[in-house]
Amino acid sequence: MSLMKSLGASAVVNLPTAAVTATQLHHHTHSFPFLSLPQHLPMLNSTTTSISWRTTTSVRKAVAAVDSSDTVEKEKESTKTYHFVVANAKFMLDEEEHFQEQLFERVRLFQERNMEQDFWLVIEPKFLDKFPNITKRLKRPAVALVSTNGTWIKFMKLRLDRVLLESFEAESVEEALASNPVDIKFEKPDKWVAPYPKYESGWWESFLLPTTQNQET
Amino acid sequence: MATEMMGLLKPISKIGYYGTTTRTILPQRVSTIIRMSAATTTATKGGGGGKNKKGIKETLLAPRFYTTDFDEMEQLFNTQMNKNLNEAEFEALLQEFKTDYNQTHFVRNKEFKEAADEMQGPLRQIFVEFLERSCTAEFSGFLLYKELGRRLKIFSLMSRDEARHAGFLNKGLSDFNLALDLGFLTKARKYTFFKPKFIFYATYLSEKIGYWRYITIYRHLKANPEYQVYPIFKYFENWCQDENRHGDFFSALMKAQPQFLNDWKAKLWARFFCLSVYVTMYLNDTQRTAFYEGIGLNTKEFDMHVIIETNRTTARIFPAVLDVENPEFKRKLDRMAEINSKILAIGETDDIPLVKNLKRIPHIAALVSELLAAYLMKPIESGSVDIAEMDPQLVY
């Protein structure tokens, strides 16, 4: 933050929004002025031109689901909403290298802020059976990014674009992330012109739910 | 005119594109003062006239800063007037920016100064220039977003990132006993006006190409640590995720404005901006091969990789992109780079300005003709699957 001083840009970092930590955000379910106008701009008529940004019903539901993971869980062990984006494995795990960077970045963030990880990768998820409209358009094997944080999944949809987004309810993480075992192997690209090596295959393993064998033992 | 077009996008681009027009503008007075930072070697250097003026070195940059139609921009965000706004998507973006992944990332250590002290000779000069240009580029992004942030809050979060980046680069300059006077830059800035639509195209490309440049350098240096001459590159991996997210924001903005994406005019503009950005980078970088070679990269290969990847990313949103993977495209770029060298060489001669201009004419004509030919190459139809006519055949 001290870097800002050299820029004389302190006004920017002093925005209240910038100070909100991710942990707080988790509990921040209600609408807030996304693009609201600062009060000190007199030329704007606040009633007609102000731009309030209300969360849609679906998002509110999604965020509420996230809340429950933190606070309500003990009182009431109920179903949770799991949001996901899905596409074929080649796209998710092999072609979109920035996707991997994002996941590791998010793991780093969660560790730095002592937050419990709420996102996983699932190879050939069983929940896909509930979505015939998705499966008929999906190359297999498929890989889903699943999270209880629907807002973030929405962002990931925007980033990845070539993915399908849906959500479902499940009573436990194990149930939500159940998968059909399948071996994932990608052919080496025939021409690799980047001035760096490709990311190692298998990077995704740390994002899978610890294997079912482990849980059984 | 051609050079003007190419200069168009320079200042909001990342990691110091070197504007082709920079050299010719040098004699102007609109300058950025690079000060020796106070506590360092000023006294020892001696010589010249004044005592404190001693270490002061003047460098002239010709940064272009942007402004836009703020009223129009505001209208675009008005939910009552714009039914296409996908609130959930913007909500998600806002959360992503607020998360502030890099809040504690930009912390310096001793390595910086040590590496800078070790760097001598021409490489040192090249590095200083790299830092200056990069800092100016980030800073111009900061100014634009900050201005927009006055009305539309989400821009403030992006200006936060840009300011952080610019500040970090400026701290880097202090390792070389220099500092960009950003306050002066701010005051002396000259605005170039762009309609919001063009800000969207240009800034989207600028952020995404910025991501690809940073990540490519980062990954290359990770694989080839012997070229890791200055620790700033180690920060690029996290740094460039900011750029990538900023690009996503403009992607969402454009999706909310289908008129910017769905007609033949939009396709022409999309191709125009792709070409401007790619050519600007290529011509600038091929004039600065020493920097890329200094960190172990082949300039042209690096640029082509960045162009191809940026183009693939851009195809997720722009309604048309260039066929940059067609070998003919690179051949055209190479010819442009050659012509550009000739134009620059004329500027270095002792001829009077009129003669220089006359000599340049045939080369500029040749450049324009290459540009036009590249522009008219058969494009690739593209776009987001979110707004494309939902093709039931599309398989994910």
B19: left (phi over 0), alpha (psi -120 to 50) or beta: beta
Q: With 60 as the cut, is the pLDDT of residue B225 above it?
A: yes
| 3 state SS of A121 | strand
pLDDT band per the 50, 70, 90 thresholds, residue A76: low
Compare B173 and B74 and report the one with higher pLDDT.
Answer: B173
Model confidence at A41, pLDDT cuts 50, 70, 90, reads very low
Please say whether the beta carbons of B282 and B367 come within 8 A: no
Nearest CB neighbour to A151, from listed B92, B157, B305: B92
Distance from CA of B250 to the nearest CA of A (A): 11
Among B31, B84, B26, B385, smallest CA distance to B258 is for B84
- pLDDT at residue B52 is higher than 60: no
Q: Tell me the nearest-neighbour CA distance from B36 into chain A, angstroms.
A: 14
- Whether B315 has its CB under 8 Å from any CB of chain A: the answer is no
pLDDT surpasses 80 at B376: yes
* Shortest alpha-carbon distance between residue B357 and chain A (Å): 39
Whether B211 and chain A come into contact, CB under 8 Å, resolves to yes
In the structure, what pLDDT confidence band is assigned to residue A39 with cuts at 50, 70 and 90?
very low
**Tens-digit pLDDT profile for residues B35-49:** 433 333 333 333 333
Residue B50: burial class (beta carbons within 10 Å; 0-12, 13-18, 19+): exposed
How many whole angstroms from its chain centre is CA A125? Answer: 17
Structure confidence at residue B178 (pLDDT): 92
Q: For the whole model, what pTM was predicted?
A: 0.79
Residue B66 has a pLDDT of 81
B106 and A3: CB-CB below 8 Å? Answer: yes
Interface of B with A in 58-117 (CB under 8 A): 74, 77-79, 87-96, 98-101, 104, 106
| Residue in chain A lying closest to B211 (CA) | A98
Which pLDDT score, from 0 to 100, does residue A163 have? 95
Contact at CB, B168 and A3, closer than 8 angstroms: yes
Q: What is the pLDDT of residue A110?
A: 97
Instruction: Give the mean pLDDT of A29-52.
Output: 37
Spell out which residues of chain A touch residue B153, defining contact as CB-CB under 8 Å: 15, 17, 33-36
In B, which residues are within 8 Å of A61 by CB distance? none
Residue B162 has pLDDT above 60, yes or no: yes
User: A78 vs chain B: nearest CA distance in angstroms?
Assistant: 25
Q: Which of B95, B252, B394 sits opposite A25 (nearest CB)?
A: B95
Asked if B213 reaches chain A (Cβ–Cβ under 8 Å), the answer is no
User: Which ipTM value was assigned to this complex?
Assistant: 0.83
pLDDT at position B82 is 74
Mean pLDDT of chain B: 82
> Bigger pLDDT: A34 or B111?
B111
What is each CA distance from B204 to A163, B200, B273, in whole angstroms? 21, 6, 10
Q: Is A33 on the interface with B (CB under 8 A)?
A: yes
Give residue B247's Cα distance to chain centre: 12
pLDDT at residue number A48: 37
Q: How many CA atoms lie within 13 A of B199 on its CB side?
A: 23
**Rounded Cα gap, residues A76 and B377, in angstroms:** 62
Flag the least confident range among A5-9, A118-122, B269-273, B316-320. Answer: A5-9
* All domains of chain A in start order, with CATH: 80-216 (3.30.70.1860)
Percent of chain A with pLDDT over 90: 54
Instruction: Tell which wins on pLDDT, B278 or A53.
Output: B278
Q: What is the pLDDT of residues A17-27, one digit of tens each?
A: 333 333 344 44
Q: What tens digit of pLDDT does each residue of A43-73 get? A: 333 333 333 444 333 444 444 444 444 444 4
Of the candidates A12, A33, A36, the beta carbon closest to that of B146 is on A12
Lowest mean pLDDT among A185-194, B12-21, B145-154: B12-21
What's the pLDDT tens digit per position in A183-196?
Answer: 899 998 888 889 99
**pLDDT band of A16, cuts 50, 70, 90:** very low
Q: What is the DSSP letter of A153?
A: H
Instruction: Give the residues across from B194 on adjacent strands.
Output: B68
Inter-chain CB proximity A196 and B171 less than 8 Å: no
CA distance B49 to chain A (A): 28
Q: Is the pLDDT of residue A135 over 70?
A: yes
B10-24 as b/e: b if 16+ CB within 10 A:
bbbbbbbbbbbebeb
Q: Kindly state the DSSP code that residue A187 receives in the 8-state scheme.
A: P
pLDDT of residue A95: 94
Question: Which of A139, A146, A183 minimizes the C-alpha distance to A162?
Answer: A139
Judge: A49–B78 Cβ closer than 8 Å, yes or no: yes
A-chain residue closest to B37, CA distance? A6
pLDDT in the model for residue B388: 55
pLDDT bucket at A36, cuts 50 / 70 / 90: very low
Each residue of B65-118: pLDDT tens digit? 788 888 888 888 776 667 778 888 999 999 999 999 999 999 999 999 999 999
Q: How confident is the model at residue B194 (pLDDT cuts 50, 70, 90)?
A: confident
pLDDT band (50, 70, 90) for residue B60: very low
Return the higher-pLDDT residue of A145 and A50.
A145
Please give the average per-residue pLDDT across B140-161, as a whole number: 91
- The confidence score (pLDDT) of residue A211 equals 66
DSSP annotation of A205: G
Average pLDDT, integer, range B134-162? 91
DSSP state of A84: E
What confidence category does residue B1 fall into, taking pLDDT thresholds of 50, 70 and 90? Answer: very low
Q: What percent of chain B has pLDDT over 90?
A: 59
Count CB pairs under 8 A between chains A and B. Answer: 187
